[in-house]
């Protein structure tokens, strides 16, 4: 697949996607649902059946709805749906009832639901190939696609119904569309960008970071490029966010929206403090009474999520130590320990190639890293607890793109780089179908990996 032939990338991508789908189906069928998945599927079914969105409100409902559709078509059993209880995570109570009601059939239902994530994975392969081929070279595009398709992390979570792989794909999509909008801010591109941002909002609340990231990216690029200056782009950026918010409302079916800040009863200290700040200052009380253009369960979901980080209910583990809070370097260590060693050799080579590059970085280059890197920084800074490496999955494509930059041009070390790609693939396949158990070879022993 690493070839300069103009026709082979199409066939190479097609073959790669077929292999990727086969691996994902294998992981799906040979592994049981993760802890979080047990709550996601019944919650998605409840969205379809009852039109309510309180179950699993800490994440937007779109991935759960897509996972629930084939299960609903297949058929399932549920005696009762849980009513809303803001003080409890009712989705896990519903999960226990769902398991009892469906018995051993539950596993089959989850295998069916998991198939909904596979198209996201394939789309990610195509998008990351397009970005790397555009930024660097056709060979770099092939390498980025291979790294994505064979990544232990993508194979693990791409065979589940958690929303993190779809979130990573949405990040790539937003980067492509926003970069094109910056270069050609037509109304058609404005609507396309608004739809892409709205899709990201509807998949993972992490992408609310786009609200500051996109304006700051536009401002930074305008300061360095006279061609991009002008107030028209700022007006159309507001339209983009308006379209994205409308898209989010449609996903929530207009369920209880435009409530004022004063109408909420928050659980987290952070949100309660914000509410008190506006309520207790006479000059700001009018703001507390203004309608918020978001569905109720968006703000409640963010509040519950923040309360989880503040509460100290979860214990974090790293290097043999348990504690009630996390570590700022947890996810960095996690990446180093859960991706094949060959990747980091490619990352070093790619970073060196970028430092030596004579030409200026393109708009797409700036946008891709401006969107993905802040996700890693912000999530790492939230040290209430550390539990799931998948929380930083939306930033992982940036690592694969930087690794692919090692193939920007021919060099004497090209064979070494190709060997590192091959080593990456072999290392990942060596633990199939249990990609979740992957550790690099020096850490692969049961005792060593357990202590990490």
Give 207-218 pLDDT, tens digit per residue: 999 999 999 999
The span from the CA of 53 to the CA of 174, in Å, is 25
pTM of the model: 0.92
Distance CA 23, CA 380 (A): 30
User: What is the SS3 assignment for 28?
Assistant: helix
pLDDT at position 24 is: 97
Whether 297 and 256 have beta carbons less than 8 Å apart is answered as yes
The pLDDT of residue 1 is 42
Q: What is the pLDDT of residue 414?
A: 84
Q: What was the pLDDT predicted at 44?
A: 95
3-class secondary structure, 291: strand
- Before 433, cis peptide (omega within 30)? yes
417-433 in b/e form (b: 16+ CB < 10 A) is beebbebbbebbeebeb
Q: Give the three-state DSSP class for 257.
A: strand
One DSSP character per residue, 61-86 reads: SHHHHHHHHHHHHH----S-PPPP-T
What pLDDT is stored for residue 3 in this prediction?
43
- Give pLDDT, residue 8: 60
- Regions of the chain with pLDDT less than 70: 1-8, 226-228, 311, 358, 410, 441-452
Burial of 274 (0-12, 13-18, 19+ CB in 10 A): middle
- What CA–CA distances, in Å, run from 62 to 118, 137, 242, 339, 416? 15, 34, 19, 28, 42
């Amino acid at each position: 697949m690493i070839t300069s032939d103009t026709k082979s990338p199409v066939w190479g991508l097609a073959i790669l996607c077929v292999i990727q789908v086969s691996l994902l189906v294998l992981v799906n069928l040979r592994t049981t649902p993760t802890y979080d998945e047990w709550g996601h599927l019944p919650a998605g079914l409840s969205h379809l059946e009852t039109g309510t969105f309180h179950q699993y409100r800490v994440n937007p409902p779109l991935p759960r709805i897509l996972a629930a559709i084939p299960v609903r078509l297949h058929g399932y059993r549920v005696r009762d749906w849980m009513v809303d209880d803001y003080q409890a995570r009712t989705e896990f109570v519903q999960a226990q009832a769902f398991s009892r009601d469906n018995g051993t059939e539950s596993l089959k239902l989850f295998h069916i639901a998991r198939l909904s994530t596979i198209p996201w994975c394939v789309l990610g392969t195509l998008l990351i190939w397009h970005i790397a081929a555009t930024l660097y070279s056709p060979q770099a595009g092939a390498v980025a696609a291979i790294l994505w398709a064979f990544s232990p992390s993508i194979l693990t979570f791409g065979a589940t119904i958690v929303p993190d792989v779809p979130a990573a794909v949405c990040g790539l999509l937003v980067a492509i569309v926003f970069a094109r909008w910056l270069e050609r801010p037509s109304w058609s591109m404005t609507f396309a960008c608004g739809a892409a941002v709205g899709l990201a909002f509807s998949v993972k609340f992490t992408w609310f970071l786009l609200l500051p990231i996109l304006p700051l990216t536009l401002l930074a690029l305008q300061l360095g490029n006279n061609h991009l200056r002008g107030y028209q782009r700022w007006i159309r950026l507001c339209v983009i966010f308006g379209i994205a918010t409308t898209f989010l409302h449609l996903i929530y079916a207009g369920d209880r929206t435009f409530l004022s800040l004063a109408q909420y009863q928050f659980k987290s200290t952070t949100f309660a403090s914000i509410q008190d700040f506006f309520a207790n200052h006479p000059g700001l009380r009018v703001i507390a009474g203004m309608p918020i253009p978001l569905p109720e369960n968006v703000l409640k979901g963010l509040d519950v999520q923040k309360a989880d980080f503040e509460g100290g209910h979860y214990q974090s583990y790293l290097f043999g130590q348990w504690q009630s809070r996390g570590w700022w370097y947890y996810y960095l260590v996690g990446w180093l320990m859960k991706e094949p060693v060959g990747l980091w050799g490619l990352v070093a080579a790619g970073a060196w190639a970028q430092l030596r590059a004579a030409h200026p970085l393109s708009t797409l280059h700036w946008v891709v890293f401006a969107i993905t890197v802040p996700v890693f920084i912000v999530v790492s800074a939230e040290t209430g607890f550390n539990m799931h490496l998948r929380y930083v999955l939306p930033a992982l494509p940036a690592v694969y793109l930087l690794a692919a930059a090692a193939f920007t041009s021919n060099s004497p070390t090209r064979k070494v780089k190709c060997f590192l790609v091959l080593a990456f693939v072999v290392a990942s396949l060596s633990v199939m179908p249990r990609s979740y158990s992957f550790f690099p070879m020096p850490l692969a022993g049961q005792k060593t990996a357990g202590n990490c």
